[in-house]
Structure 1
Amino acid sequence: MKKYLSALIGIFLSAISLAQIPLTVAPSGGNKKAAVSERVGLTDVVITYDRPGVKGREGKVWGELVPVGFTDPGFGNSKSAPWRAGANENTTFKFTNDVKIQGQSLPAGKYGFFIAYSPEECTLIFSKNSTSWGHYFYNAAEDALRVKVKPQALEKSVEWLKYEFMNETENSATVALQWEKLSIPFTIEVDYVKDQLESFRRELRTENGFIWQSWDQAAAWCLQRSVNLEEALLWADTASSAIFGGDKAFIAWSTKAQIQEKLGRNEEAAATMKMAMAFASMNEIHQYGRRLLQQKKTKEALEIFKTNYSKNPNQFTTLMGLVRGYSAVADYKNALKYANLALPLAPNEQNKTSVTAMIVKLKEGKDVN
């Protein structure tokens, strides 16, 4: 038995000596592994890379350590490879939706990222192969996109190579590779409206579509941006129906009415708002009146404030509605009357100060809205 066990141990030790067991250690050369990500619109952009350091090589990075153009790396099967845009393994970019790089289309997916450097103009390469190690196996036939950008000088040296997001908007961001005293920036653009609408359509077919609030949220988003209004009206129909319990929700009916109005269906919108008023709370009616004031529909707003007061008399909110409503039609006498009634009902000092200031303006014959 001992001889058998000794033989097994000998075989095991021999196997260890013949094979390297990969354990987790820091990247070779002291380069730092890194990942940076940002959401642009609804698109997640994830950059994974290794960060080489300058390490005292100022003035010898660009054009020497990072070669110009395409070179033979002397290993692997690529004879004409660009720089790996980092260190060690492939630098990769992942996009969860379709994007545009410098105005050129690139489908959603994960890509290997390379740069053919030149002091005047750099070629950025997004490769369909994101799994090869470094640039040693680069194959131009796998390119998904090439774009050209101009490098920019930096005043202050960056020791460790980094990718940075900047100039972010709802639909775009600039990504800049920065190392030593050079920056290579490029723009990423998304179609946020398109992506958002596609997301709504997907999510409304999941459990998120089991409640009226989701349908109303999608419809209200379209209303706010004046996009996709016909489909938004269908979503609003669902939100205000009994299917998911929105048939007694003022918000759902109000959203539907506003979309109808945007589409020029004014009679339908008026009928829908009449339906909505049956389910409105005091505060919802008040906010509806304020919205009408913002739309310069002063007479309609006053009628809404009157309705609210008749339903909820002698309340600070409804009294203030009448103040604003009468002031909007230049009936400062009645506005002042209701302001004086509202003042002792002010719920806090801030409201009391606000009403007091309104009273002063109304006495001067000035609109408080």
Structure 2
Amino acid sequence: MKKLITAGLLLAIMQIIYTSPVQAQLTSLPSGGNKRASVSEGIGITNVSITYSRPAVKKRDGHIWGELVPVGYVDQGFGPSKQAPWRAGANENTIIEFSTDVKIEGQPLAAGKYGFFIAYDPNECTLIFSKNSTSWGSFFYKPSEDVLRVKVKPVPVDKSVEWLKYEFTDQTPSSAVVALEWEKLVIPFKIDVDVVGTQLASFRKELQSEKGFTWEPWDQAAQYCVQNKTNLDEALLWTDTATSVNFGGDKSFTAWSTKASVLDGLGKTQEAADVMKKAYPYGNVNELYFYARSLTRQKKGQQALEVFKINYDKHPNEFLTNAGMARGYSAVGDYKKALTYAQKAQSQAPDPANKNIVNTMVQKLQDGKDIN
């Protein structure tokens, strides 16, 4: 028995000795002195990330493009690929990942993680997005794994970039250009995102999760549609949910006012007005004041005055409601009554900033000018 235990212990020690180098590698620099790097950017709610290694020029100016980076597809002398493109970096695959569907140079590409390769040509480069994102470099490249190929023109530049890098340039709310920069060449490609479409798709998915258990997310999604003047029919259904008893928004001024805004956007003006009447009893002093202010900015003076009056009746002779009445009467051209309320608010101003605002209101009304 003792011999068996000793033999078993010896076997365990031998396993530790021979397996530990594999299981416990020391941290070291990437091979070839290349730097690891990653860069990411948001386009709408879409995240684009690029993970790559950065080779350096190392005094090889004039010998990078067409030499170190070969033209087209080549046999690298290792691996099964006999027609391999450049790995668009160094060491492992360059990987580019999109959290939603995008367009690359106008061509659709689904959300996902891709190996990124470039077949370099001084006149026109071919960019390759491969479903194989885990191989080492392009030694195992297979054309059959290509998901998308696009062609772009490389751009010569005067200033040399020592370490290869990727940058996001020429950004707009719905697009960005990714630029690979190395030595005296830039290889750019444009990414476009359907910002509204991806946002709506995200809303639909999230509203089916636990986030959809309360009224606020439904209201948020509907407000987005109002602000972007899109998808209003579905937004109206979302407001039905937001204002329902089951989801808790049936006594929310915000939920009802969002529904009114959707109806207004659909051209259902009278229905919108009727819904707002349901909202008024639930509005606090700030909500009613700022809603009425939005009406004055829309040049809906009479409607604004009515809301300011409702607010005043609920919260009589307060600073904000007196200021509101001043704005309401000014909006319909009754500067005399407006001045009376502005002077009341003048003595109630809670801080110097508001005091200055009301002083300006009083002065304008005394001069016979609108304060909105």
TM-score, length of structure 2 as denominator length: 0.93
Match status 1:278 vs 2:286: no
Residue among 284, 303, 307 paired with 1:304:
307
Question: Cα 1:349–1:72, aligned 2, differ >3 Å: closer, same or farther?
Answer: same
Deviations 1:50-108 (A, max 9, x none): 11111111121111111111221111111111111000111111112111001111111
Q: How does 1:36-75 map to 2 (within 5 A)?
A: 36-75=39-78
The aligned counterpart of 1:257 is 260
The aligned counterpart of 1:217 is 220
The aligned counterpart of 2:105 is 102
Match status 1:346 vs 2:349: yes
Shift of 1:170: 2.4
Query: One-letter code of the match for 1:242?
Result: V
The aligned counterpart of 1:78 is 81
The aligned counterpart of 1:144 is 147
Residue among 297, 315, 318 paired with 1:315:
318
| Percent identity of equivalent pairs | 59
Residue among 112, 133, 136 paired with 2:115:
112
2-side partners of 1:297 and 1:183: how far apart?
Answer: 54
Query: One-letter code of the match for 1:41?
Result: G
Query: One-letter code of the match for 2:343?
Result: N
Shift of 1:9: 9.9
2-side partners of 1:84 and 1:194: how far apart?
Answer: 33
Shift of 1:13: 11
2-side partners of 1:105 and 1:152: how far apart?
Answer: 24
Match status 1:121 vs 2:124: yes
In the comparison of the two structures, how many residue pairs are matched? 368
2-side partners of 1:148 and 1:159: how far apart?
Answer: 25
Shift of 1:168: 2.4
Moved more, 5-14 or 353-362: 5-14
Shift of 1:25: 2.5
Residue among 357, 360, 363 paired with 2:363:
360
The aligned counterpart of 2:163 is 160
2-side partners of 1:368 and 1:319: how far apart?
Answer: 14
Shift of 1:207: 1.0
Query: One-letter code of the match for 1:107?
Result: A
Deviations 1:228-283 (A, max 9, x none): 11111111111111102111111001101111111122222121111111111111
Question: Cα 1:313–1:54, aligned 2, differ >3 Å: closer, same or farther?
Answer: same
The aligned counterpart of 2:236 is 233
Shift of 1:172: 1.2
2-side partners of 1:192 and 1:158: how far apart?
Answer: 33
Residue among 10, 29, 32 paired with 2:35:
32
1-side partners of 2:58 and 2:330: how far apart?
Answer: 71
Find the residue that maps to 2:126 and give its secondary structure. strand
Find the residue that maps to 1:157 and give its secondary structure. strand
2-side partners of 1:83 and 1:319: how far apart?
Answer: 71
Residue among 175, 195, 218 paired with 2:198:
195
Deviations 1:273-294 (A, max 9, x none): 1111111111111111111112
Query: One-letter code of the match for 1:213?
Result: E
2-side partners of 1:273 and 1:297: how far apart?
Answer: 14
Question: Cα 1:56–1:334, aligned 2, differ >3 Å: closer, same or farther?
Answer: same
Query: One-letter code of the match for 2:365?
Result: L
Question: Cα 1:364–1:21, aligned 2, differ >3 Å: closer, same or farther?
Answer: closer
Query: One-letter code of the match for 1:148?
Result: K
Segments of structure 1 that go 5 or more residues without pairing to the other structure are: none
Query: One-letter code of the match for 1:203?
Result: E
Residue among 132, 135, 138 paired with 2:135:
132
Deviations 1:143-174 (A, max 9, x none): 11111111223333221111111222221111
Shift of 1:47: 0.9
2-side partners of 1:12 and 1:243: how far apart?
Answer: 62
Find the residue that maps to 1:168 and give its secondary structure. strand
Find the residue that maps to 2:172 and give its secondary structure. coil
Question: Cα 1:262–1:64, aligned 2, differ >3 Å: closer, same or farther?
Answer: same
2-side partners of 1:10 and 1:241: how far apart?
Answer: 68
1-side partners of 2:122 and 2:151: how far apart?
Answer: 12
Shift of 1:6: 12
Find the residue that maps to 1:278 and give its secondary structure. helix
Residue among 168, 178, 182 paired with 2:181:
178
TM-score, length of structure 1 as denominator length: 0.93
1-side partners of 2:202 and 2:186: how far apart?
Answer: 35
Residue among 243, 246, 252 paired with 2:246:
243
Match status 1:89 vs 2:92: yes
Find the residue that maps to 1:38 and give its secondary structure. strand
The two structures, once aligned, show a CA RMSD in angstroms of: 2.4
